[in-house]
Every structure is written in C-alpha cells, then in structure tokens.
Chains A and B, each alone.
Chain A
Amino acid sequence: MEPLWLAVASFPVLMALIFLRVPIGLSMLSIGLLGSWLVYGDLGPLLNQMKTLAYSQFSTHSLSIIPLFLLMGQFALLGGISGALFKAAEAFIGHWRGGVAMAAIGACAGFGSICGSSLATAATMGQVALPELRRAGYEPGLASGTLAAGGTLGILIPPSIVLVIYAILAEQNIAMLFAAAFVPGLFAAASYMLVVALTVRLRPSAAGVIPALPAAARWRALAQTWSVAVIFITVVGGIYAGLFTPTEGAAVGAISTGVLAWKRGGLDRARLAQALEATASGTAMIFFIVLGAAAYNTFLALSLLPQELAQWVGSLGLSPYAVLWAILLFYLVFGCVMDSLSMILLTIPIFFPLFSALDFGLQPDDAAIWFGILVLIVVEVGLITPPVGMNLFVIRAMAPDIPMAALYRGVLPFVLADLVRIVLLVGFPSIALFATWLSR
C-alpha cells in the first residue's frame, strides 16, 4: 500500500483500538511503530529510531515544565488554598442572588491562576464548594454544572498544560501564549457568572440566598489569599516579562506553592508522599501520550499526509474561515469522546500546517497564537460535554447522588456560553492578541 493511504487507513484502526479501551498513548505508540515499519519496508531504520525515541521525548527541555506545574498544582491542593479563595469570594458576593455559585467560579479562576490542570481545579473546588452550594439551597444541577464548567478555568487561565503542549508542537512562544490566554480566560469566568445570573433570574428557585457578611469579615477573608496573587504575578508575570524561562517560572511556582502549603500546615510527610505520587501519575500519563503521539506523528510525517492534506484543502479553494470552522467543529465533536491532551497531540501536527497555509490578514505568529487560544477553548469544551467530559466525571464522583441527566442539563448553559465565546474570538482575534502586542 502507498504510504499516504497507509496513513489514511491507520486512523480508523487507531480509533478502534482507543474505543476498545487500549490506553490512548499505547494505541498511538503501537500504530505509529507498525506504520513506520510498513513505510520503511524494513525493520532496520525503525529499530534504529527506537534507540532514542523514548529518551529523547522524555528529556525534551520544554516538556519538563509539565511535571513542575503538576507539582505546583499538588502543593496548591494540599495548602488548602482552594478553601481560602472560595471563602474570600463568597464573603464579597455570596449574598447576591446566585452569588455562592458565582463565588465558586471566581475561586476556580483564582485557583486556575496557579494551577494548569482542569481536573485538579474541578476536583479541589468541587470538594470545597459543592457542599456549600448545596447547603445554601442551590439545585444539584446548577451546583454541579457550575463546578464542572468552573474547573475548565484551570486550563483557560494561564499557566496551562494544554497551551504548553501546543506551544511545543506549533513552535510558538509559551510566554506570548500565556499572555494571550489571560483575557479570554477572564472573559470565560465573567461569562460563566453571567450564566449563573441569568439562570437564577429565569428560575429563582434554582438558588437560595445567604446573608451578607460585615465589611471587616470580608477583608479578613480576602487577606488569606494574597499569597496566591503574589505567586501568580511572580510566575506568569516573570515569564511574560522575560525574567526567567517558562520552565524556571514553573520551578519558582512549584517551590513557592510548596512553601505556602508547608506554612499553612498542609505538608506533613504522608501528604508530601501523596503529592509526589500524584505528580508522578500525572507526569507518566501525559508523557506516555507524548511518546505515543511522537511515534504516530513520525509515521504520519513519513507518509507525507500532513503536507498532502494541506495541499488538497488549499486546492479546494475554500474560504479560510470555512476551513477554520471545520477544524474547530472537528475538535468540538471529537472532544465529546476523546481526552483533550491526546487530541491536541494527535491533531496539531496535521492541522497546524493546514491552518498556517490560510490567510486571515494576520502576522504568522499572531495567527498561530490566535489558533492556539481557539484550540484551547474548543478542547476545553470537550471537558464538559457528555458523554466523555472528564470534569463531569470528577464532579459526579464527589456527588454520586446527583443524577447524570441533571448534571448534563446543569452544564448545558455553560457550554452555550463557551460557544458564544468561540464565535466572538473567531470574529475578534484581538481579544487574545492585544496582550501580545503590548509587549512589542
């Protein structure tokens, strides 16, 4: 079979393996190795390539940022920071109609600013805020939908592991991507709060009301959270200003969050061991997918599929926006059943050349950053869309008494808000890009 058609045929086989519950990384790794072997027609070059395959992927300097951010997230979990953030937000806006849910979203945004993982954000904020929401009389669907959606702020607001992966695949500047993600991230938080406000206006019975706190208590609660702001400004600001490299920034974040957790008394020996194990697990999971994607993408590159596809799409004479929407739609649909990181690792090597060939009247680097933010948002939607929305599972695991259908209904308005945000960002790239223009 010709290499090109071999690559085309490999995709359904890969999908079949994944749906048969073979680990995603393992599926890509085996199909990639097998495909390369068939293209080479000889075991020699493949065996040669495998001598350095795993080690060279695992020792990629820019990828070392990932375990460091995972470590930072684990320390943030142990430090009880999520609780402090939620209490502070609740102290200020909890007494509004729908205020406790809005406070949960605000706290998710705060936690997302020191954590690059959506699952970790959903898990920790769920633990803190879900009982409070239910005590305050919020409908289970609204409460759980809010937290599942709020969890996605973990990757939308920098630092973000998904953006790190995109930056490496598309060879873009991580600092610029973080800067570009910031405003759309805040925008996401604001739109989720708006969803809550509209929901409780349409259905006042969806939420209870809690009494307001005196001013002194508010400022006391806020004072508990200044360290989070300092860490965020140091890490993301330091990377943005060029004081240190992104990897160094992640190291600073991990150590400072660790010190914070320790000072707050959350870091005894047992918990440290637990944080280390969770960091190891997360690291292994991500790097195994990275390894599989590297093997599979080597095979695709050998088959020339990415170039041929880009040429073919170019020859169709479609408008750039039609192609962009087709790509975004692909992510939205596949995001319903696929893990977000695997999806990015699998598809960016194919879609990025395709996208780069399109002309949107932007500088090439600006276009690449804009595309990265769009991809980030569409794959993030995949975390809260049924049937395979990881954040939904995380929240559901914490509150098994909430029916899955109520959870789906509860998260739907947030998905709609995401779709509106995608349309706006496609129409107005400057929402993301102006932060990068500021630094020139």
Chain B
Amino acid sequence: MAGWVYLLCRWTARFGAAVMLALALLSVASIIGRALSGLGLGPIPGDFELVETGTALAVFCSLPWCYLMRGHAVVDLFWHGFSPAMQRVLELGSGLLMLLVWLLLTWRLGIGMLDYRASGEVGFILQMPTWWGYAAALPPAAIGCLAYAWRLFESLGLVDPPKLESTQAMGH
C-alpha cells in the first residue's frame, strides 16, 4: 500500500520530462528539415504550437513529484529557530494552503477547458482545438491534488511517508 502515490507521481514526472525530450527531438528534426529545404524537405509544421502544448503538459506532470520530494524553493533561514510544535503547525498550514490553492486552480482549469470547447478556438497552424491542451493538463493537475492531500495526511500523521532515496532538484 505504502508508496503508490509516490510511484504514480514519479512516473508522471518521468513522463513529463520525456515529453520535453520528445519536443527537443521534434525541434531538431524541424531545424534539419528547414536546413535541407533545398532537397524537398521542410520544417515540421506547427512545431511552435506543439512545443507550447507539450511544455504545459510537462510542467503539470512535474509539479506533484517536485512537491513530494520537497523540491520547491523555500527560505529556511529561521526554520531551525522554531520549536518543533511551531514547525508542525507551519508545515500543516503550508500543506493545507497548497492543497486549497491547487484544488481551486484545478477546478478553474476544468471550467477553462469547457469554455474553450464551447468556443471552438483552434491553434493557428495545426487547427488543433485549444481545449485539448487543457484536457491533457487535467489528469496531472488532479494527480497534484492527490499528492498535496497525501502530503497533508503525512503531516497529520494519518499515513506514513515511504522510504525513498531523494533526487536532487537542480534549479538555476
């Protein structure tokens, strides 16, 4: 039982980064096509739109794992000066805020998807409906809600965190 949320988020994150890798390959193929346009090849049409949609998907897929791995940027300058009780309260408050904000954003993302489906807006080149991108982002956004709820349960002591080796986030 323990760890299935982590496993799900981990594979979602791997999938997200793999999408970026695929987009990189796509861009390179497009550049090669453009460079060889004299030979009857050409750039991949709509690569711009695909990169945008794909990046959004990749980011939504990456967020839950980053949170579970405590990868988000924090300032812990004063943290060690707080009492353990205070630390517990802060952790709970922060986790609750995360869950609430993300539930709100996921709900609005869903409404946004319905709006775009109703309006029938499509991308410029590929004629791909805009709501498809939103629809693709919804499952990872929902996984996010699950992950943030799970972390909150962990802080409340309702579930045990699994034993995992941590990966290091490499920011900027």
Contact = CB atoms under 8 A, between A and B. Distances in A.
B51 A64 contact: yes
Given A25-B72, A251-B27, A283 B20 contact: yes
Interface string B8-37: 001001101110110111111011000000
B97 A26 contact: yes
B172 A67 contact: no
Given A21-B74, A24-B73, A276 B13 contact: yes
A36 interface: no
A387 B18 CA distance: 36
Contacts of A387: 77
Interface string A1-35: 00000000000000000111111111001100100
Contacts of A120: 170
A281 B71 contact: yes
Most buried by B among A54, A280, A340: A280
A123 B23 contact: no
A71 B21 contact: yes
A300 B14 CA distance: 36
Contacts of B16: 280, 283
B74 A22 contact: yes
Nearest to A164: B172
Interface string B129-172: 00001100100010000000000000000000000000111111
Nearest to B169: A281
Contacts of B112: 51-52, 55
Most buried by B among A118, A251, A287: A251
Contact of B62 (A119, A258, A280, A340): A280
Given A23-B72, A251-B27, A339-B73, A284 B170 contact: no
Contacts of B74: 18, 21-24
A50 B13 CA distance: 24
B65 A284 contact: yes
Contact of A255 (B25, B56, B109): B25
A287 B144 CA distance: 14
A255 B24 contact: yes
Nearest to A64: B55
A33 B101 CA distance: 9
The main secondary structure of chain A at its interface with chain B is: helix
A61 B65 contact: no
B57 to A, nearest CB: 8
B21 A276 contact: yes
B77 A281 contact: no
A64 B20 CA distance: 9
Contacts of A54: 60, 105, 109, 137, 141
A385 to B, nearest CB: 13
Given A64-B23, A252-B28, A255-B28, A285 B73 contact: yes
Given A26-B98, A162-B172, A277-B17, A284 B109 contact: no
A276 B17 contact: yes
B63 A288 contact: yes
B169 A26 contact: no
A20 B14 CA distance: 31
A126 B98 CA distance: 34
A404 to B, nearest CB: 13
Most buried by A among B56, B60, B74, B171: B171
Nearest to B89: A20
Nearest to A22: B94
B169 A282 contact: yes
Nearest to B54: A64
- Pairs A-B, 7 closest by C-beta atoms: A284-B66, A51-B112, A251-B27, A280-B13, A276-B17, A59-B56, A284-B62
Given A64-B52, A155-B172, A251-B31, 4 more contacts: A21-B76, A255-B25, A278-B167, A337-B75
9 contacts: A21-B75, A26-B72, A53-B105, A64-B52, A248-B31, A277-B17, A278-B170, A283-B62, A287-B59
Interface of B: 10, 13-14, 16-18, 20-21, 23-28, 30-31, 48, 51-56, 58-63, 65-67, 69, 71-79, 90, 93-94, 97-98, 101, 104-105, 108-109, 111-112, 115, 133-134, 137, 141, 167-172
